[in-house]
Chains A and B, each alone.
Chain A
Amino acid sequence: MAYSDKVVDHYNNPRNVGSFGKDTPGVGTGLVGAPECGDVMKLQIKVNLETGVIEDAKFKTFGCGSAIASSSLATEWLKGKSVDEAAKIKNTDIVNELKLPPVKIHCSVLAEDAIKAALADYKTKQAPVGAGATTK
């Protein structure tokens, strides 16, 4: 299978590999996939608590070159976006950007799942303690 130049570039020079402390304020962590399926992505965002903008993002991925490229690209796109904007990133955007063949579309789906999981984790952590008891 031939890879697109962009997949090769992300594989050779992955952007934003690394980890934040899970309990650092403003950090949201998504861990998706499963080892037995051959793909696991950990994607983290670090949100500026005053502006609500994603200031930094990091990933670690176990998976094929396309999975690595999808998560690397996702971290690039996340930086500078607000939490609401980030939620609009779609797997099809990743497919188009990386020119993923049909057999690799699941890699982009996993990256979208990872973004959603990281955002959900961030939101859960921002909810004030005892939020459920407030009246709305």
Chain B
Amino acid sequence: MALKFPIFMDAQSTTPVDPRAVEAMLPYFTEKFGHPASRNHPFGWEAEGAVDAARGQIAKLIGARDPKEIVFTSGGTEAINLALKGVAEMYREKGNHIVTTIIEQRATLDVCKRLERQGVEVTYVPVQPDGLVDLETLRGAITDKTILISVMFANNEVGTIQDIAAIGKLAKAKGILFHTDATQAAGKVPVDVEAMGIDLLSCTAHLLYGPKGVGALYVRRKGPRVRIAPMIDGGGHERGMRSGTLPVPLIVGFGTAAELCGQAMPEESARLRALRDRLQDLILSNVDEAYLNGHPERRLPHNLNISFAYVEGESVLMGLNKESALSSGSACTSATLEPSYVIGALGASAELAHSSIRFSLHRFSTEEEVDHVGRRTIEVVKRLRDMSPLYELAKEGVDLKSIHWKAE
């Protein structure tokens, strides 16, 4: 099959909507346009039926007992906001302490920062070099004021998958609620809120081949019954937790996409893991001083994150971006001039944090694409090393740490 450019290998930023999900959505824009809260006529019943069916599909994907435990939001960010702020407000009498990690995505970290300004105490536990949270460290962070533990299921940059069941068990034993940000994991790896002791779970449609603009928060109803304060007041939709007219077409697309992910998961994750391993082997066997970031095994099957010593990440992307879409933890790809805090949190030097490239595969990735991107990456890294003063110094045997750098 001929390659089609540009090649998309940035599937942890977003994914294309599966055509079958688009197909399912279409009637809900036009002939089935009813408001799901219209209780007195067929248009409303039809819309409500579609929303409930999607609720069931999403509940099934994450192992929820009851579809009513799914609360629709505008996406992952809103779900995370609702979980953290909703719990902090509702359980204020019980305590004012939240435990999370330093590698959470920005939504979680920014919500925590706001809560801190409002008097909530937050402990950000570090992670090990492979990205895993140490359970004893987590346990040690818990106080008698802790009301919530929030740990991401799988990391968005390095793909490390946490031992969620063990964290759930710990939370349960301590009588603390447990929220997990599963935006990167849901639909990709098995998620089971019952078996894993998850009380709240955030996910989003657009990372599992559904549309942008819709996500969900799972809120446990039994054992314990979790209560959260709403952030948006209005008609009392979603059991009072999230008011606002539901975007029925998006929800239908989300539900269909979730069901397709559940059906495809065993085969799809094996296929993507094989492709990912192929890309990893191709690159690591052809480039010296290229380092895999994250956990070597406990990792999302479609994720590959590599730091290329002596070259800067954005310059690598610039050599590739006409024909392939990738992402970097380089400071120069962000507005802040700070390199990836995730790679930094794994204990890598700042230089290697500036040099990280994330390859993320998806349902429509092919072997030809992987081979092409792998080969081009190798070429670009070699070309950039030929013009890198750091590579030159290292090859001369100079220890870069021995140089007194005059930083700006």
Contacts and interface: CB of A to CB of B under 8 A. Distances in A.
Contact of B311 (A31, A62, A109): A62
Contacts of A42: 389, 392
Interface stretch (B138-146, B292-300, B400-408): B400-408
B386 A17 contact: yes
B310 A62 contact: yes
B389 A65 contact: no
A35 B350 contact: yes
Interface string B117-146: 000000000000000000000000000000
A41 B391 CA distance: 12
Interface stretch (B164-172, B234-242, B276-284, B331-339): B331-339
Given A36-B351, A61-B389, A63-B312, A103 B406 contact: no
B349 interface: yes
Interface residues of A, number: 35
Given A14-B387, A103-B337, A19 B392 contact: yes
Given A11-B315, A60-B389, A36 B407 contact: yes
A64 interface: yes
Contacts of B387: 14, 17, 59-61, 68
Contact of A106 (B310, B333, B392, B408): B408
Given A33-B407, A37-B408, A38-B354, A61 B388 contact: yes
B408 A33 contact: yes
B314 A65 contact: yes
Given A3-B318, A62-B310, A68-B315, A35 B388 contact: no
A64 B407 contact: no
Given A33-B407, A38-B312, A106-B408, A62 B349 contact: no
A39 B408 CA distance: 10
Contact of A65 (B315, B391, B392, B406): B315
B390 interface: yes
Given A34-B407, A35-B405, A11 B318 contact: yes
Interface of B: 310-312, 314-315, 318-319, 330-333, 335, 337, 339, 349-351, 354, 386-392, 400, 403, 405-408
- Going nearest first, the 6 A-B pairs with the smallest beta carbon separation are A34-B405, A36-B350, A42-B389, A64-B332, A35-B351, A34-B407
